[in-house]
Chain A
Amino acid sequence: MESAQSSLFNVSIDFGTSHLFFPHIIHWILAILFAFILVLKVLPFLAAVRRGERTLPIIGEPMHVGLFIGTLVLIAAYFYLMGVVGELFPYTGLGFLFTSIVFVFLMSLMFMGRKSRRKVITALVNAIVAPTLAWFILGKLFYITLP
């Protein structure tokens, strides 16, 4: 009894492949849960979509494509250019500062909705002051490495 029980639970992990042991277990749990979700949630949902009661997420929903894609592209460009500009002035944080000023201003404009002279000026002042402050305090005073 004792030995039967212990052999059932026994496990020996080869150190060389131990990095796959836990992920393997997680994969099985994921697969089983996914099967349940498929049957209990996804299939009924798809049936409801077919009947026209529900809509598919993202594709079927109304969305503001321009602003959404614009935000994504702007953020990606910001991250990318920060590194590129940063390379020109190694470890001064200027890459961060320059691209942030441009980014903050552009993103402000995108999220502004109806524009007015006052709002644009506020956004501009903010776009210059906020990154400069962040750069000065964190990069210069606290010596944090910035891109």
Chain B
Amino acid sequence: MSTPKNSFAFGMIASALAATLALGAGVAMAADGPLRGNVRVVIGSSSTGGDTYQNSSIVVDKLAEKLGVRMKVDAVGVSAAYRALDRDPRGNTLMIFHDQSYLGNLYGVEGYEDPFENYIIGPTIAINPGNAYLVPKDSPYQTLDDIIEAVGNGTTVRVAIQPGGVSEIGYTALKNAIRIEHPGKEDNLVAVNTGSQADKNQLLFDDQADLINGSVQANEQYTRLPEDDQKAMRFVWLTARNDTIQQAPESGLGETDRETLLQYVEPNVSVTMGDEDFTFDKEFFFLYNKDMDPAIVEQIDATLEEIYAEGEIQEEQKKSFFIPDFMPSDEALAHLKEKASRYEDIIDSLKK
């Protein structure tokens, strides 16, 4: 290749670079405050149809608007999300996840480090109150108490769950309650480890499970099918706190109103932990790189505070059946740590 062409090429590339650089810089300068440039919010789920994505996009959209930075939610999944977060202390990468982060660690799942030690816990943003347990509509068990009784009397009850986290915690609590009320009988409650909601439903249809973990959102329509339909199901337990469901829209979800949903939460359904009833709210919160500038933590806290004070976001969350639940970082940390230690006790008490 001859030299003139070479320098011509170089000139072209250089000017193109300069032009785009200027463009890029323009974007980066738009915001003031410690959080600058483009921000990527990675989430611990790889589904864009799931609750984590939905929740994150509601909050991130509002946040981006208020902060004047470009923010994008990327559903990269747990391990990739943690890796992206680990690499970036500048604050251009943030993460949103839920209780799975510490539950995975408590259950000893590979790849789940202790989030309280390895990351900064950011503000909580919302609760998905839908975590539920269901039986077939023609099940002999009318209530969760029936199940506890049956297991106590030596009947084997199979529960379909996804192991190692949010889906398993209710099962663990139930097992623990049986241990307390009918010592030695808890092994009659067996887990059927499976994956997606489709798989859990399928196990119920196939009569390979007596009880399944599910959610109000995914299973509500199944509970309204006629009893002679093979697919018909019935709620027996919602793990959310009574207070949480109280905040849900009065119309509930689908055709099941709040009043009906309240029948399936404590104190109407009681899963004892000894001194009090077990409850579990699936809470979504931010996670930051350990070395991120504390000023960014404050900035996000303050901005979310403003957003929640305006009240618009709550409407949007409730429309999607999420319960607004804003706590600034320090409050969130204390709350989640306390929550984690409670569940740790239950999980440990079943280890032999």
Q: Which residue numbers of A lie inside 8 Å of B, CB to CB?
A: 15, 89-92, 94, 97-98, 101-102, 105, 109, 115, 117, 120-121, 124, 127-128, 132, 143, 145
Cβ of B88 under 8 Å from chain A: yes
Q: Are A145 and B72 in contact (CB under 8 A)?
A: yes
State the interface size on chain B (CB cutoff 8 A): 25
Alpha-carbon separation in the docked complex, A124 to B1 (Å) = 13
Cβ of B12 under 8 Å from chain A: yes
User: Which one of B13-21, B254-262, B270-278, B315-323 is at the A interface?
Assistant: B13-21
B203 to chain A, nearest CB (A): 15
Which residues of B sit under 8 angstroms from A90, Cβ to Cβ?
Answer: 37-38, 40, 88, 90, 92-93
Which residues of B sit under 8 angstroms from A101, Cβ to Cβ?
Answer: 13, 16-17
Encoded as 1 (CB less than 8 Å from any A CB) or 0, chain B from 1 to 32 comes to 10001001100110011001100100110000
Q: Are B24 and A91 in contact (CB under 8 A)?
A: no
B2 to chain A, nearest CB (A): 9
B25 to chain A, nearest CB (A): 9
Write the chain A residue with the least CB distance to B5: A120
Q: Are A91 and B40 in contact (CB under 8 A)?
A: yes
State which of A115, A128, A145 has its C-beta within 8 Å of the C-beta of B40: A145
A-B contact count (CB 8 A): 55
Which residues of B sit under 8 angstroms from A94, Cβ to Cβ?
Answer: 20-21, 24
Cβ of B78 under 8 Å from chain A: no
Q: Are B74 and A145 in contact (CB under 8 A)?
A: yes
Cβ of B346 under 8 Å from chain A: no
Write the chain B residue with the least CB distance to A124: B9
State which of A92, A97, A124 has its C-beta within 8 Å of the C-beta of B27: A92
Q: Are A92 and B38 in contact (CB under 8 A)?
A: yes
Q: Are B24 and A89 in contact (CB under 8 A)?
A: yes
B81 to chain A, nearest CB (A): 13
Task: Knowing A91-B39, A145-B40, A145-B74, say if A105 contacts B13 (CB, 8 Å).
Answer: yes
**15 A–B contact pairs at CB < 8 A?**
A15-B193, A90-B40, A90-B88, A90-B93, A91-B37, A91-B72, A91-B92, A92-B24, A92-B27, A92-B28, A92-B38, A105-B13, A120-B1, A132-B16, A145-B40
Alpha-carbon separation in the docked complex, A98 to B16 (Å) = 9
Closest 3 CB pairs of A and B: A91-B38, A90-B92, A91-B40
Q: Are B20 and A120 in contact (CB under 8 A)?
A: no
Alpha-carbon separation in the docked complex, A89 to B15 (Å) = 18
Besides A92-B28, A121-B5, A143-B72, 8 other A-B contacts (C-beta < 8 A): A91-B37, A92-B24, A92-B37, A92-B38, A101-B13, A117-B5, A128-B13, A145-B72
Alpha-carbon separation in the docked complex, A98 to B21 (Å) = 9
Which residues of B sit under 8 angstroms from A127, Cβ to Cβ?
Answer: 13
B67 to chain A, nearest CB (A): 15
Alpha-carbon separation in the docked complex, A124 to B14 (Å) = 12
B13 to chain A, nearest CB (A): 6
Q: Are A115 and B12 in contact (CB under 8 A)?
A: no
Which residues of B sit under 8 angstroms from A145, Cβ to Cβ?
Answer: 40, 72, 74
Which residues of A sit under 8 angstroms from B13, Cβ to Cβ?
Answer: 101-102, 105, 127-128
Which residues of A sit under 8 angstroms from B1, Cβ to Cβ?
Answer: 109, 115, 120
B168 to chain A, nearest CB (A): 12
